[in-house]
Amino acid sequence: MLLDCKRATEFMVDMTCEGCVSAVKNNMLKLDGVSGVDVDLSNQVVRVIGSVPVKTMLEALEQTGRNARLIGQGNPNDFLVSSAVAEFKGPVIFGVVRLAQVNMELSRIEASFSGLSPGKHGWSINEYGDLTRGAASTGKTFNPANHLSEEKPLGDLGTLEAAENGEAHLSGSKEKLRVSDLIGRSIAVYEKEDKSDSGIAAAVIARSAGVGENYKKICTCDGVTIWESS
Question: Between residues 76 and 19, which one has the greater pLDDT?
Answer: 19
Question: Between residues 28 and 102, which one has the greater pLDDT?
Answer: 28
- Read off the pLDDT of each residue in 34-41 and give the average, rounded to a whole number: 89
Domains of the chain as residue ranges with CATH: 7-74 (3.30.70.100), 83-206 (2.60.40.200)
Q: CA 88, 40, 32, 222 torsion: positive or negative? A: negative
Average pLDDT, the chain: 85
* Residue 70 to residue 164: CA distance in whole angstroms: 29
* Residue 67 to residue 87: CA distance in whole angstroms: 19
Query: What is the pLDDT, as a whole number, of residue 8?
Result: 84
* Residue 194 to residue 207: CA distance in whole angstroms: 29
pTM of this structure? 0.63
- Read off the pLDDT of each residue in 176-201 and give the average, rounded to a whole number: 94
How much of the chain exceeds pLDDT 90, in percent? 59
DSSP β-bridge partners for residue 11: 46, 70
Query: What is the pLDDT, as a whole number, of residue 6?
Result: 73
Distance (Å) of CA 200 to CA 119, 133, 138, 196: 14, 10, 12, 11
Predicted confidence band at 207 (pLDDT cuts at 50, 70, 90)? confident
* Residue 199 to residue 170: CA distance in whole angstroms: 19
Kindly give, in sequence order, each residue whose CB lies less than 8 Å from that of residue 55, ignoring residues fewer than 6 positions away. Answer: none
Query: What is the pLDDT, as a whole number, of residue 204?
Result: 96
Residue 2, pLDDT > 90, answer no
pLDDT tens, residue by residue, 123-173: 999 999 999 999 999 999 999 988 888 889 999 999 999 999 999 999 999
Q: Are 13 and 28 a contacting pair, CB within 8 Å?
A: no
Whether the ω angle into residue 91 lies within 30 degrees of 0, i.e. cis, is: yes
Query: What is the pLDDT, as a whole number, of residue 211?
Result: 30
Distance (Å) of CA 143 to CA 125, 126, 175: 9, 8, 13
Number of H helices and number of E strands within the chain? 2, 15
Predicted confidence band at 77 (pLDDT cuts at 50, 70, 90)? low
Amino acid in the structure at residue 126: N
